[in-house]
Amino acid sequence: MSTLFEATSLKGLELKNRFVRSATYEGMAAPDGACTDSLTGKMAELAEGGIGLIITSHAFVSPEGRARNRQLGIHSDAMIPGLQKMTEAVHEQGGRIVAQLAHAGAQTDRGISGFEALGPSAFEKEKGGLSREMNAADRVRIAACFGDAAIRARKAGFDGVEIHGAHGYLLSQFLSPHFNRRTDGYGGSIENRARFVLEVFEAVRLRTGKDYPVLIKLNSEDFLDNGFRQDEMIALSEMLAARGIDAIEMSGGTVYSGEKIPSRKGVLKEEGDEVYYREAAVQFKKRVKVPLILVGGIISFPVAEGLVEQGQADYIALSRPVIREPRLVRRWQSGDRSRATCLSCNQCYQPILRDDGISCEVDNRLRADKQ
């Protein structure tokens, strides 16, 4: 049996294989952020398709941290009944599901959230608009929002939570000297830039208890001038490990990182070029003793298997490949180990922009051509 289909346990959470659905915004929540039946159906479909662990799309922990329309919310107790339906549907299929807790910080605007955008520093955004520098009261309030959201996740039956610390969202802005120009105890050295992330982690841990799996998604690096660097990611991972984080998912890039955005475009690369953050994973594994979930550009079974066999990753996360093939893991398990058919073309954002919810646009076009 392939090592990818070995059962493992993550802080007592039994997982049937090493495949993880990386958080993927579907644009399928209700306008107020509530979980809908169609979104629940998507999660059940993924669980039925064989993925061992699903990470939800980024769920906003407070309205001011909302990044998108039709984004999932975990900001109020009114969200719990809908979220509970989601977790029950996944569990019925034998799957496991973790809620991704997110605050977009400066990466949102009043048009979407209804609030002034907040960040570590006042920041002029590429697409216009300013974010306001957060003060001490903002930090305390937002850390508490993460803690409250985590307890809601637990009440709704999620098997754990993942703190979104990547991709240029609020926590990643604090980590990055590109966004964080502070001169107080929250800016400057990596210890200072990490402080808010650690406070958020402590708030989540405090509210959920020691036995509850808490994961975090981090950038391997920002790929920006004066951005968060790989050695800083490792230093931060060691700090989180010392405080009891249960797993780290490694990604990279921000919306400002040119071609090196988290979901890079790349059609039919050579197998050897598939893994975006392999070198960072190798360095991580030398120093950090926490399970590593690796995401980014992985579409071939032997590549995924090699990552685990060579000790470069413990879990393999997939986003776009399972948009096109929700049953990819089941297919691989049944013996058809040919490459995922995903072209990493990023057209999956198109149906979301049309307010149709996520789907593979390549397949949509193929179907339309046949009719």
Q: Which residues are catalytic?
A: 169
**Binds ligand FMN by CB under 6 A, chosen from 52, 296, 326, 351:** 296
Q: Which of 31, 179, 71 is nearest to 118 (CA)?
A: 179
Residue 137 CB, shortest distance to ligand FMN, in Å, is 27
Residue 259 CB, shortest distance to ligand FMN, in Å, is 13
| Per CB under 6 A, 25 contacts ligand FMN | yes
Q: How far is CA 74 from CA 63, 99, 197, 262, 311, in A?
A: 9, 9, 19, 23, 35
| Per CB under 6 A, 42 contacts ligand FMN | no
Total interface residues for ligand FMN by CB under 6 A: 25
Q: For residues 149 and 182, which CB has a smaller minimum distance to ligand FMN in the complex? A: 149
**Binds ligand FMN by CB under 6 A, chosen from 163, 348, 351, 361:** 348
Count how many Cα atoms sit within 13 Å of the Cα of residue 98 in the half-sphere of its side chain: 32
Binding mask 181-220 for ligand FMN (x = CB under 6 A): ------------------------------------x---
The Cα 191–Cα 185 span in angstroms is: 9
| Per CB under 6 A, 21 contacts ligand FMN | no
Q: Which stretch binds ligand FMN (CB under 6 A): 36-44, 236-244, 284-292, 342-350?
A: 342-350
| Per CB under 6 A, 295 contacts ligand FMN | yes
| Per CB under 6 A, 250 contacts ligand FMN | no
Instruction: Tell me the torsion sign for CA atoms 165, 220, 296, 89.
Output: negative
Residue 253 CB, shortest distance to ligand FMN, in Å, is 9
| Per CB under 6 A, 320 contacts ligand FMN | yes
Q: For residues 22 and 131, which CB has a smaller minimum distance to ligand FMN in the complex? A: 22
Q: How far is CA 25 from CA 21, 60, 146, 357, in A?
A: 12, 11, 19, 9
Residue 200 CB, shortest distance to ligand FMN, in Å, is 15
Residues 337-355 as b/e (b if ≥16 CB within 10 A, e otherwise) read eebbebbbeebbeebbeee
Q: Tell me which residues in 123-182 interact with ligand FMN (CB under 6 A).
A: 164, 166-167
| Per CB under 6 A, 349 contacts ligand FMN | yes
Q: Which stretch binds ligand FMN (CB under 6 A): 81-89, 207-215, 219-227, 316-324?
A: 316-324
Residue 293 CB, shortest distance to ligand FMN, in Å, is 10
Q: Tell me which residues in 89-128 interact with ligand FMN (CB under 6 A).
A: 100
Q: For residues 47 and 215, which CB has a smaller minimum distance to ligand FMN in the complex? A: 215
CB 177 within 8 A of CB 123: no
The Cα 320–Cα 312 span in angstroms is: 21
Q: For residues 196 and 276, which CB has a smaller minimum distance to ligand FMN in the complex? A: 276
**Binds ligand FMN by CB under 6 A, chosen from 15, 20, 23, 99:** 23
Q: For residues 214 and 358, which CB has a smaller minimum distance to ligand FMN in the complex? A: 358
CB 288 within 8 A of CB 238: yes
Residue 68 CB, shortest distance to ligand FMN, in Å, is 9
Q: Which of 205, 200, 218, 190 is nearest to 138 (CA)?
A: 200
Chain contacts with ligand FMN (rule: CB under 6 A): 22-25, 57-58, 100, 164, 166-167, 217, 251, 262-263, 295-297, 318-321, 344, 348-349, 358
